[in-house]
Structure 1
Amino acid sequence: MAYKDEQLNEEKVFKDPVHRYVHVKDRVIWDLIAAPEFQRLRRIKQLGTTNLTFHGAEHSRFNHSLGVYEIVRRILYNFENRPHWNDDERLLCLCAALLHDLGHGPFSHSFEKVFKLDHEHFTQQIIMGDTHIHTILERVSPGFSKKVADVIDKTYEDKLVVSLISSQIDADRMDYLQRDAYFTGVSYGHFDMERILRVMRPIDDQVVIKSSGMHAVEDYIMSRYQMYWQVYFHPVTRSAEVILSKILHRAKYLFETDYTFKLKPMHFISFFKEKVDLADYLKLDESIVSYYFQLWQEEDDEILHDLCERFMNRRLFKYIEFNPNQQMNEWMELYRLFQEAGIDPEYYLVVDSSSDLPYDFYRPGEEEERLPIHLMMPNDELKELSRHSDIVEAISGKKRTDHKLYFPKDLLEELSEDCPAKRRILELLYGEGAGNNVN
């Protein structure tokens, strides 16, 4: 029997808090899960610093990847023998679903921004490089790894396959909304996934939804909207991300200025030099980063020591509402006053902005083109979701943005009353015009 068709002697299952069970019968999938590059995802949290806000959010990219695989497995079971679906693509879909987040690094997006990295690039490298994952995929057939990489990269020729993994209603989003809601303890991310899976239909280039399932999709869209603003963009989580980012910036700066660390940060050197190869990338996970943060609390550099102590012990920055587009003069004055007070504004005065577009219709030619969700009407006509749903129409194409100014309230309060800058800083931050609600 060819490797691609090989089945396990008995079905394996992973007990899962969201989907109850994750079922594995294919030998290829079982081998991929066992590969070191996939097992590494156990050491990468799904939600980065969110556990400092919602203490239950300790789940990993490993959990999520299995969940996405399981949803795609269920979708494909429903697609069997339906028009437009080619069952020869089944294993490709399952592999792409399982491996779609393979390249995420520690603390994901915050880490990427500091070191100018792209997890999608590393996902491609792991799949196509000298790895256990690549070897397994090539055993399926020569060039199979490239097909998997293309699906994840959204360049694969069969757009129906791509849409299962990456679209406005895909297995990735359906898993992380429910999983993140479960582990954060909130109710926003819950929606009727079973109903959505039952009314999904394959057509030539995408998945569509039977019109009878519209209300389940409305619920899904609103769940996503609420999760972004109540969980993913929570200001306390963003405060932790700000400090995390500043720790990494400070450590990089110290390395570049020949500072002598008490323990040489070997795992970070290629990142500091911005010459990261795949082997270096795979060695660094959140347990390693946390180890260095723990040690850096003892460093002689006052800023690195303070920021690490804040992060490890959850002494986060406070924040106020602050729109840099409208309050630039206040920002410039605060920057100068922080300098006068001996508090480095590069590390202790940070504007952070978050924005989200919960649903969009197709805008040809624009950056980040989004294929809309289509409803299949009883006469087989396709209708774009927001043209048929008043709820979705109300939020379609509307990007919401939120700005916060983060700062160390404790350091400001510790300033001497004789410090000329102190009173004016407090006026700008707490007084009229800057917002009285300091959190």
Structure 2
Amino acid sequence: MFKEISDPIHQFIRVYPDELEILDTFTFQRLRYVKQLGVTYMVFPSAQHTRFEHSLGVMNLAESIYVGLGYKDKKLMKVIRLAGLLHDVGHPPFSHTTEVLLGDKSHEKVGKELVLSGELNERLKKVGFSQEDIELLVRLAFKEPKDEEERVLSHIITGELGADRMDYLRRDAYFCGTSYGFFDYGRILGHLERINGKECVNKSAIRALESFFLGRFFMYTQVYFHKVVRILSIHLLELIKDYMEKGLFSKEKFHQLTDADLIGLALKEKNNPLVRRLFLREHFREVFSTNNWDEYRQVKEFLKEKLDERELRFDEAEKNVMDEEFYLNYDGVLKGLKEVSPLMKNLQKIRIYRIYVEPRLKSHALQYLKKAS
């Protein structure tokens, strides 16, 4: 027996009884109120999707990848699906945007603690998972494999072409109303292989693979690193830090909150400049952008001499499109994607360095820069 959940990305996602037990916990239900892309919806209004539906999508894709790689163990497949379901359970409000406020923790570390104790641990044991099973789930979900076999299994969820990335690219593109993140994931799934214990894709799917990484490149440059998304994220952090300093909530309990908790506080302070920057688009404005680090540093120091540093904001966004090499099977010989694809070989690391100023000073800052050029 299972339930089917309608989903715009995967059409229908099957959820089995043991997984429903996990869904029906407050710990997991909290993800309904944590937006996938932080404050991106303030720029792309339909980006209202949450970590909840993304986690369901990752669970669904994890099984497809598991089967595509030739695994057959049914018990292990249950662990893989649940690892996909729970991989983001430790996300704080507004997702990655506020993760820096967790201190020495990451959302993976918080997630690990949540699964190893409390109601999630109790529910997992209730549906028949041993402590050993749960510890395996944790290692696979939160990037802590103990050997090569577990590394391959963990990559099903968190790897270069794992369920996490394959779901969020298509889901984010769909809800942002862009076409950048769409790729032929069906062809990739249909050509997954495992050669000498290494995950790879058959050479016939090379164009679909290139499309996946190009989609990632454009989603970062056009959406995740959008100039207004980035400055609103900076202002959001400033507002939350202000609330922490006022003692409205602690850093230790921050990961238990939702987006709604913070928005509720903010909407009570409509005259607070920090709130107005975020919610009334009175945010700082971009006056300089480059992909050249030395040029950025030079302009940064120049504007710091001309303006009060409190009236400036600096943003340094960097991302590798591929974090590690991915392989294709050429008749039994594994070849790296960068080796066989001129496109991927020449795809550079994304670097965008920006400087923003208070709105009333934008024209002054631009004049300073024009005179200095």
Task: Work out whether the TM-score is over 0.5.
Answer: yes
Supply the distance in 1 between the matched residues of 2:195 and 2:120 (Cα, whole angstroms).
31
Task: Give 1 or 2 for the bigger CA radius of gyration.
Answer: 1
Residue aligning to 2:84:
97
RMSD: 2.2
**Which residue, out of 294, 302, 313, partners 2:280?**
313
**Is 1:184 matched up with 2:176?**
yes
Code of the residue aligned with 1:313 in structure 2: it is: L
Residue aligning to 1:290:
263
Give yes or no for contact 1:163–1:206 (8 Å, CA) kept in 2: no
Identity %, equivalent residues: 28
Give yes or no for contact 1:243–1:307 (8 Å, CA) kept in 2: yes
**Is 1:119 matched up with 2:102?**
no
How do residues 123-162 of structure 1 correspond to structure 2 at under 5 angstroms? 123-130=111-118, 132-138=119-125, 139-156=128-145, 157=147, 158-162=150-154
Give yes or no for contact 1:37–1:282 (8 Å, CA) kept in 2: no
Q: Structure 1 residues 73, 433: CA separation in 2 closer, same or farther (over 3 Å shift)?
A: farther
How do residues 1-400 of structure 1 correspond to structure 2 at under 5 angstroms? 10-24=1-15, 26-79=16-69, 82=70, 86-116=73-103, 117-130=105-118, 132-138=119-125, 139-156=128-145, 157=147, 158-203=150-195, 205-253=197-245, 255=246, 265=248, 268=249, 270-271=250-251, 276=252, 280-281=253-254, 283-298=256-271, 305-322=272-289, 325-326=294-295, 328=297, 330-332=299-301, 334-335=303-304, 337-339=306-308, 345-346=309-310, 348-360=311-323, 370=324, 372-378=325-331, 380-395=332-347, 398-400=348-350
How do residues 428-439 of structure 1 correspond to structure 2 at under 5 angstroms? 428-429=368-369, 431-433=370-372
Supply the distance in 2 between the matched residues of 1:242 and 1:282 (Cα, whole angstroms).
19
Q: Count residues with an aligned counterpart.
A: 365
Residue aligning to 1:401:
351
Report the CA distance between 1:108 and its aligned residue: 2.1
Give the secondary structure class of the aligned counterpart of 2:186: helix
Give the secondary structure class of the aligned counterpart of 1:189: coil
Report the CA distance between 1:27 and its aligned residue: 2.0
Residue aligning to 1:260:
none
Report the CA distance between 1:318 and its aligned residue: 0.8
Q: Structure 1 residues 204, 92: CA separation in 2 closer, same or farther (over 3 Å shift)?
A: farther
Supply the distance in 2 between the matched residues of 1:228 and 1:58 (Cα, whole angstroms).
18
Give yes or no for contact 2:296–2:353 (8 Å, CA) kept in 1: no
Superposed CA deviations along residues 24-69 of structure 1, whole A, max 9, x for unmatched, are 2x32212111121111100000000111111110000001111111
Q: Structure 1 residues 175, 312: CA separation in 2 closer, same or farther (over 3 Å shift)?
A: same
Gaps of 5+ in 1: 1-9, 256-263, 299-304, 340-344, 361-369, 414-421, 435-439
